[in-house]
Structure 1
Amino acid sequence: MYAIAINDQTLIWQAHDTPRDIAADEVRIDVAWAGMNRADVMQRAGQYPPPPGESEIPGLEISGTIAEVGRNVERFKPGDKVCALLAGGGYAEQVVVAEAQVLPIPQGLGLRDAAALPEVFATAWLNLYMEGAAKRDERIVLHAGASGVGTAAIQLCRAFGNPCFVTVGNQEKLDACKRLGADAGWNRHEGSFVTPIKDWGGADMILDPVGGDYIAQDLQVLNPDGRVVLIGLMGGRDAQIDLGHMLMKRQRLIGSTLRSRSPRAKGAILDALHAHVWPKLANGEIKPLIYKAWPIQDADTAMQHMIDNANTGKVLLSVSGEG
């Protein structure tokens, strides 16, 4: 098969060994589309290697067609159209993955749309409603609101009764987030977000992929008993915070990653998505937001758009291009 290799921080489409034989609880998928994520950018830069034993090929989410199933697989059969959450290996013509990490495509969606679902909606659901334990009417702040995860989280907040405030990089992105359902927002180039969020009513939960000096500001706007869920380090891994403020307001700072979780843990997240989010995708209440797609041979060009923060929504790579 062909797959992407990382050579001196360049993404090269080249011949590669076909994935290993499948285990009893695994499936083999012919990949149609792959989603691009910040984790792929970090992996290309040598800062986020795959978990031990996982593929060195980048790519954490795909859509495609089941080619082969293990003897214990019950939910799928060859020919089924599916999407999957991976620990790596998605920038390739084939992947092998545990059945638990695979979902059928929501009714009414095609393979292109489905590739924009697994990683971002799993990340958003996990951190909003499992790690962050957001309850209806709690106020949520989403940093990087125009990202793939951010645009998924906005729609989940709207669908499940949580007012949300976004921080973004320009007015165009802010307008796009408000069209998706964000209640308010702030252009980060206009200064600190502390006063605008306090004026909005503060936050009961914050989804933060930035870290760095954002954390201290997060705690300033977080209401008593509030939670910050840290899911990335775009702003750096060091922060200086007032622990006394955090103590007196009973605030919590939670670190969370998805990639390194076990197939069983990922399966539990996907089961929740299938139960709560897939019906809303099927009826059109929630929609995947796709910025643009490139042929997988142009993965470097696509990734530069993500590095430049040019995208609002998902960046996709076409592998077979099947609809």
Structure 2
Amino acid sequence: MMLPDQMNCVEMDGVGGPEVLISGSRPFPVPTADEVLVRVIAAGVNGPDLVQRRGHYPPPEGASDLLGLEVSGEVVAVGADQTRWQVGDKVCALTNGGGYADYVSVLADHCLPIPEGVDDVDAAGLPETFFTVWSNVFFGHTVPEDGIFLIHGGSGGIGSTAIQLGAAMGLKTFTTVGSRRAAEFAKSLGATQTINYHNEDFVELTREAGGADIILDIIGGVYVARNIKAARHDARIIQLAFNLGSKVELNLMPVMLKRLTYTGATLRSRPDSFKTDVARELEKTVWPLFAKGHLRSVTHASFPMSEAADAHRMMEGGAHHGKILLTNTA
């Protein structure tokens, strides 16, 4: 296959709002010995992309400065030291950046086959949220049978994945939403109970059910103290983002009295070996659930790669249900 010298991509003209995203051109990426080169069919838009665009989430050393942490596509070249993937294979992959482009080099061990029954484009919306939720909630952890899993922001990318995985793993999934439409969407994914944060109190409703065993939060701010109130003894609270801010004044006595575990993580900075372990467990344990109908891809909207700014505006608007994708039509 003859590959070009240059490729199209989405670059950042400085930092700031969605308007800094512009069409550009870059030299063609060359895969290292342990990478594969993927022709990008689609790329997922994620919260970290927005934060990096604003200048607050720099890529790790050696990673591409282009946005894009997950893609689906076709393998067009393979590194000398990798043996699993072949030219022509369709994959979805977690990247350290570079997904907003025609081509991206990805560690071969961070690629997964596209699950049975999932469209090639929709598969681009799987890696980032499934790696994140699985690694924080399930990977290496004992999950209480029939426990309560409280998920904030149930209609977004992380939330929609967490609801599905929680339900598939036998948990009762409670989730906060902001509208009747979002509640219906969450219910369709397997949510046990939806809580409209405009007029309902998630602390009260969760405590009435016995308290949450696991809480997954992307909100922060005043939710930090409220999560502690909503948790039952020996619960885990997992912080993945701080949409309302990360600086809070907190009484830690309930953490001690309830024996709570409060933790957080960013996926991008985790060691490659850790992501490889997560990828293999996803492929073994989670990916077969798509074929069985227990999980499904959830795409809210797709934009051409050249319209990345509009995709970011939609995500910042917060009204999306599921994933927002960028597609390459060539």
Q: Which residue is equivalent to 1:11?
A: 21
Contact 1:178 1:184 in 2 (8 A): yes
TM-score, with length taken from structure 1: 0.96
TM-aligned CA deviation for residue 162 of structure 1: 0.4
Q: Which residue is equivalent to 2:245?
A: 236
Q: Paired residue for 2:288, among 264, 279, 284?
A: 279
Q: Which residue is equivalent to 1:90?
A: 99
TM-aligned CA deviation for residue 134 of structure 1: 2.4
* Aligned-pair identity (%): 38
Please say if 1:2 is aligned against 2:11. no
Contact 1:132 1:229 in 2 (8 A): no
Q: Which residue is equivalent to 1:138?
A: 147
CA RMSD of aligned residues (A): 1.3
Q: Which amino acid aligns with 1:152?
A: T
Please say if 1:223 is aligned against 2:229. no
CA deviation map 1:12-66 (0-9, x unaligned):
12111222x3221111111010000001111111111111221110010000000
Counterpart CA distance in 2 for 1:46 and 1:188 is 30
Counterpart CA distance in 2 for 1:184 and 1:109 is 27
Q: Which residue is equivalent to 2:47?
A: 38
CA deviation map 1:113-159 (0-9, x unaligned):
21111111111111110266423312110001111111111111111
Contact 1:31 1:320 in 2 (8 A): no
Counterpart CA distance in 1 for 2:258 and 2:194 is 24
Q: Which amino acid aligns with 2:26?
A: H
Q: Which amino acid aligns with 2:84?
A: R
Q: Which residue is equivalent to 1:56?
A: 65
Q: Paired residue for 1:126, among 92, 112, 135?
A: 135
Please say if 1:150 is aligned against 2:141. no
Q: Which amino acid aligns with 1:154?
A: I
2-11 or 304-313, which deviates more: 2-11
Q: Which residue is equivalent to 2:193?
A: 184
TM-aligned CA deviation for residue 240 of structure 1: 2.1
Mapping of residues 306-317 of structure 1, within 5 Å: 306-317=315-326
Counterpart CA distance in 1 for 2:273 and 2:296 is 27
Counterpart CA distance in 1 for 2:288 and 2:200 is 39
Please say if 1:258 is aligned against 2:264. no
Q: Which amino acid aligns with 1:74?
A: T
Q: How many residues align?
A: 320
Counterpart CA distance in 2 for 1:237 and 1:53 is 28
TM-aligned CA deviation for residue 281 of structure 1: 1.0
Q: Which amino acid aligns with 1:7?
A: D
Q: Which residue is equivalent to 2:213?
A: 204
TM-score, with length taken from structure 2: 0.94
Contact 1:213 1:240 in 2 (8 A): no
Counterpart CA distance in 2 for 1:201 and 1:299 is 43
Q: Which amino acid aligns with 1:205?
A: I
Q: Which amino acid aligns with 1:13?
A: S
Q: Secondary structure at the match of 1:304?
A: helix
Q: Secondary structure at the match of 1:115?
A: helix
Task: Give unmatched runs, 5+ long, in structure 1.
Answer: none
